[in-house]
Amino acid sequence: MSIPSHLHQNLMPSEVNFLAENEMIQILPRYSMKSIQLIGTKIPNLRALRREKVPIWVALILKSQGKCNIVPPKWLELGYLKEKYDEEIKNPFKFSDLPWHWIEISKMLLSKAADDLSDPSHQLRSIIQDLKEIRLVKSKKGFTELNESNIALTGLSLLEINEIRPFVLGVMNKLREIHETIDREGEEEGEEEDDDMD
Amino acid sequence: MEVDDILRDFEKSTQKDQDLYKSLTTAMLNERMAPELLPYQQSLLEDVLSKISSQQQFLLDSHEYGDINIDSGIITSDFKLQLMIIETDIERLNYLVRSYLRVRLSKIDKFSIHYIDMISTNRDSKLLSFEEQSYISRHFKLMTDLYNGSFLKKVPQDLAYLDTDSGISMIVKPEIDQLVFIKVNKGDIVLELEDDDELELIPGGIYIVKYSLVRRYVDIGDIELI
Amino acid sequence: MVDYYDIDDILATGEKVPSIFNITVPGLGYLEGNPGKPINEGTKVELPLWLAEQLAHLEAPDGTPFISLLEPESLNVKVRNAIRTDPVALDVHSILPNYYKMAEKYCSFFSDEELSEIIKQMIKERSLEIYSYANNSSKQMNSRFMLSLDEFEKRLFKIASESNRQMKNWLKE
């Protein structure tokens, strides 16, 4: 069965989250567990209190079973995120450098491993919300620059891209269609009888 | 074989497996975002599918015989957890494969006459898999039978064609000038734009550009569609 | 590139446009309500765009095209000026439900670069407004702007608000 047409050239937020779950994260095992050979990757031998890297989806399963603690990535921390927020304000035309899946990873860890985070959840949630909003405002300002040919959006994460994608591509493709009505290759003019147009 | 060799082999295979996951994700996203059908990733899909089925076999065996590494034959809760992780891994790969194949089907459905023309002029085209080739001809036959049976037989013969090319072409083709989001993997890519303009792409950069300008870089992996 | 099955394109080419006959054609009088009579040179008639386009390309033996297309009201100087002054205030839907498609056809037919620039600017400014409506459902109630959208703009509004809704729902999960 083919995919619904609105999902061609588009992703659902849950699919972006799925991709984020494949990112690696450090865990601190509480018990030992033998290594597992998966198709996509190999989970190493786990020994209590020895840090290992595993895909986030594995970390979340182990965490839910009480088998490990998750070592939060170093960017998921109040001080760091506040710094990024200040950077966003200081550079009105540039997105600060955040991980490709920062929103999804913070959401997953906040809801499933809040006790492993170094700062209180409500404070983290609120700074993440602020960051997300200020970056969306910046994207919106950028919409005035939409054109028929190209645009650079370096610094945006995949979920942020996905959120604005249908609108941005919709507008740009329409501009392109209008732009292409004029044949700019052959420069000769006046071939048509266009005297009737004022 | 020396221990070092074994270790090296082992590392290589782990590396390759991780690449497998990444390649499949990239293939899925490229296919999902490209306006046209991309060449079928024959060897990648064969590799993934055979690994999925051997892993499934391992699961079946484990459920039947328990943990072969433990003499007692008792299934521990740890072992159950491991099996659950393996099962999840299979499900996740399955999802990527399905998403990849389903978006291809939607393009095959939408542009079937166009692609039938294309593979009939180029027989060793790598565009469609064997299964997709038989799907596209059956799909086309069903569609024309339906059209003929429900209304085309009632219109004059010369108006009953589905593929005339005079005036506006009746054959729906993918619009390759559509804009797409890209992520740049390698340096030294300069795109030529209208009016002798150029766009230099920075590695790691994110851009919106016309698909037609980047399709050859997508093909060799220097650019990914996102 | 025109998609043969694009319903908006079909609807847009069904719109009537003013045109003028350059030569007298016997038997075509029914186009202006005189069946059996010829249609005279210089007669203005409203023809659907798909027909007018063909006739304007077809030439009589002496090389004159059968008809010349005249500028439709939807794209005349008055409307162009209104677009330039305040594109957001324009009731595009009441001018033509498939306004941009029609504009596209005229831009390409007459290679009217000025018109294409005006239309591009119009799309840019109106789409910003559409985006802000799509992200603010309280704004949508009883709005004159929402009723003024052309078919392309309605679709744009729909996909933008759908994307916004999906994101909100996912964040709540």
Kindly report, residue by residue over B89-116, the tens digit of the pLDDT: 999 999 999 999 999 999 999 999 999 9
Indicate if C88 and C158 belong to the same structural domain: yes
- Render pLDDT for A122-138 as a digit per residue (tens, 0 to 9): 999 999 999 999 999 99
Chains that touch C (3 or more CB pairs under 8 A): A, B
The β-bridge partners of A53 are A26
In the CATH scheme, what architecture does the domain A74-182 have? Up-down Bundle (1.20)
Q: B171 touching C, CB under 8 A?
A: yes
CA distance B10 to B50: 19
Quote the pLDDT of residue B10.
Answer: 53
Residue A68 in tokens: 């490990």
Q: Are C55 and C67 in contact (CB under 8 A)?
A: yes
Task: Please name the residue of chain C whose CA is at the shortest distance from the CA of residue A143.
Answer: C128
* Strand, coil or helix: B188: coil
Which of B54-63, B92-101, B118-127, B195-204 shows the lowest per-residue confidence on average (mean pLDDT)?
Answer: B118-127
Q: Do C4 and B172 touch (CB under 8 A)?
A: yes
Indicate if C59 and C102 belong to the same structural domain: no
* Average predicted confidence (pLDDT) for chain C: 92
Q: CATH number, domain at C130? A: 1.20.58.2050
Would the pLDDT of B7 be above 70?
no
Taking any CB pair shorter than 8 Å as contact, residues of chain A touching chain C are 6, 10, 12-14, 17, 107, 140, 143-144, 146, 148, 159, 162-167, 170-171, 174-175, 177-179, 181-183, 189, 192-198
Quote the pLDDT of residue A185.
Answer: 61
Indicate if C43 and C83 belong to the same structural domain: no
CA distance A36 to A49: 18
Residue C150 lies in a domain: yes
Q: Which of C116, A42, C147, A47 is nearest to B12 (CA)?
A: A42
Secondary-structure percent of chain A, ordered helix, strand, coil, rounded to 5: 50, 10, 40
Q: Do A8 and B195 touch (CB under 8 A)?
A: no
Would the pLDDT of A191 be above 50?
no
Chain A residues within an 8 Å CB radius of C12 = none
Chain B, residues 54-73, CB within 8 A of chain A, namely 55, 69
- Render pLDDT for C76-103 as a digit per residue (tens, 0 to 9): 999 999 999 999 999 999 999 999 999 9
Chain C residues within an 8 Å CB radius of B170 = 4
Residue C1 lies in a domain: no
Count of domains observed in chain C: 2
Quote the pLDDT of residue A1.
Answer: 77
The C67-69 sheet, strands edge to edge: C44-48, C16-21, C67-69
Rounded to the nearest angstrom, the gap between the alpha carbon of residue B56 and the centroid of all alpha carbons in its chain is: 22
The residue of B110, B172, B195, B210 whose CB has the most chain C CBs within 10 angstroms, and thus the best one to mutate to test that interface, is B172
CA distance A136 to A129: 11
With tokens 């959006």, the residue in question is A153
Q: Convert B132-170 to b/e letters by CB count within 10 Å (16 or more is b).
A: bbebbeebbeeeeeeeeeeebeeeeeeeeeeeeeeeebe
Q: Do B169 and C5 touch (CB under 8 A)?
A: no
Indicate if C106 and C34 belong to the same structural domain: no
Quote the pLDDT of residue B67.
Answer: 67
Indicate if C57 and C119 belong to the same structural domain: no
Q: Do B93 and A3 touch (CB under 8 A)?
A: no
Q: Which of B65-74, B197-206, C137-146 is modeled with the greatest confidence?
A: B197-206
Indicate if C102 and C140 belong to the same structural domain: yes
- DSSP result, C54-75: HHHH-B-TTS-BSEEEPPPGGG
The residue of B25, B189, B206, B209 whose CB has the most chain A CBs within 10 angstroms, and thus the best one to mutate to test that interface, is B206
CATH of A11-71, one of 3.30.43.10, 3.30.70.20, 2.40.50.140, 3.40.5.50: 3.40.5.50
Chain C residues within an 8 Å CB radius of A196 = 20, 68-71
Closest partner CB to A144 (pick from C103, C119, C128): C128
Residue A6 in tokens: 């609105």
Indicate if C81 and C151 belong to the same structural domain: yes
Quote the pLDDT of residue A197.
Answer: 40
Q: Could you state, in order of their start, the residue ranges of all structural domains in chain A?
A: 11-71, 74-182
Specify the pTM.
0.91
Residue C95 lies in a domain: yes
Q: Which of B111, B210, B197, C131 is nearest to A184 (CA)?
A: B197
Q: Which of C82, C77, C105 is nearest to C94 (CA)?
A: C82
Q: B172 touching C, CB under 8 A?
A: yes
Q: B88 touching A, CB under 8 A?
A: yes
Would the pLDDT of C143 be above 90?
no
Torsion-angle region of residue B109: left (phi > 0), alpha (psi -120 to 50) or beta?
alpha
Q: B51 touching C, CB under 8 A?
A: no
Mean pLDDT, rounded, for A166-188: 86
Gap from A115 CA to chain B (nearest CA, Å) = 22
CA distance A118 to C18: 72
Residue B69 in tokens: 């590494």
Q: Which of B97, B7, B10, B120 is nearest to B51 (CA)?
A: B97
Of C69, C89, C121, the one marking the end of a domain is: C69
Which of A40-44, A62-66, B71-75 shows the lowest per-residue confidence on average (mean pLDDT)?
Answer: B71-75
Q: Do C163 and A167 touch (CB under 8 A)?
A: yes
* Strand, coil or helix: C46: strand
Mean pLDDT, rounded, for C10-34: 91
Gap from C9 CA to chain B (nearest CA, Å) = 11
Mean pLDDT, rounded, for C106-118: 93
CA distance A7 to B98: 14
Quote the pLDDT of residue B168.
Answer: 78
- Render pLDDT for B141-200 as a digit per residue (tens, 0 to 9): 999 999 999 999 999 988 888 887 777 788 999 999 999 999 999 988 999 998 889 999
Quote the pLDDT of residue B33.
Answer: 98
Would the pLDDT of B1 be above 70?
no
Chain B, residues 116-175, CB within 8 A of chain A, namely none
Chain B residues within an 8 Å CB radius of C1 = 173, 175, 177
Q: Do C170 and A163 touch (CB under 8 A)?
A: no
Of C22, C51, C69, the one marking the end of a domain is: C69
Quote the pLDDT of residue A65.
Answer: 95
Query: In three state form, how does the secondary structure of A63-91 look?
Result: HHCCCEEEECCCCCCHHHHHHHHHHHHHC
Quote the pLDDT of residue A189.
Answer: 42
Q: Which of A22, B88, A166 is nearest to C165 (CA)?
A: A166
CA distance A171 to B189: 26
Q: Do C163 and A163 touch (CB under 8 A)?
A: yes
Sign, Cα dihedral of B182, A106, A109, A29: positive
Residue C92 lies in a domain: yes
Q: Do B106 and A5 touch (CB under 8 A)?
A: yes
Task: Please name the residue of chain C whose CA is at the shortest distance from the CA of residue B172.
Answer: C3
Residue C43 in tokens: 């007669």
Q: Torsions phi, psi of C162, nearest 5?
A: -65, -45
Quote the pLDDT of residue C141.
Answer: 75
Q: Do C120 and A164 touch (CB under 8 A)?
A: no
**How many of the other CB atoms lie within 10 Å of CB of B226?**
20
Gap from A28 CA to chain B (nearest CA, Å) = 17
Quote the pLDDT of residue A192.
Answer: 41
Task: Please name the residue of chain C whose CA is at the shortest distance from the CA of residue B173.
Answer: C3
Quote the pLDDT of residue C136.
Answer: 86
How many residues would you count in chain B?
A: 226
* Average predicted confidence (pLDDT) for chain A: 91
Q: Which of A105, A110, A118 is nearest to A55 (CA)?
A: A105
Closest partner CB to C4 (pick from B168, B175, B177): B168
Alpha carbon distances (Å) from B89 to A40, B52, B62, B191 = 7, 9, 16, 39
Parent domain of C105 = 73-172
Which of A10-14, B76-80, B109-113, B143-147 shows the lowest per-residue confidence on average (mean pLDDT)?
Answer: B76-80
Gap from C97 CA to chain B (nearest CA, Å) = 23
The β-bridge partners of A27 are A52, A70
Quote the pLDDT of residue C33.
Answer: 86
Of C69, C99, C116, the one marking the end of a domain is: C69
Residues 6+ apart with CB under 8 A from A178: A148, C100, C103, C104, C107, C116, C119, C120, C123
Indicate if C97 and C160 belong to the same structural domain: yes
Q: Is C12 exposed, middle or buried (0-12, 13-18, 19+ CB in 10 A)?
A: buried
Mean pLDDT, rounded, for C116-140: 93
Indicate if C93 and C161 belong to the same structural domain: yes
Indicate if C82 and C61 belong to the same structural domain: no
pLDDT band at B14 (very low <50, low <70, confident <90, very high): low
What percentage of chain B carries pLDDT values higher than 70? 88
Q: Do B168 and C1 touch (CB under 8 A)?
A: no
Segment (H or E) for A43: strand A42-43
How many residues would you count in chain C?
A: 173
Q: Convert B37-67 to b/e letters by CB count within 10 Å (16 or more is b).
A: bbebbeebbebbeebbeebeeeeeebeeeeb
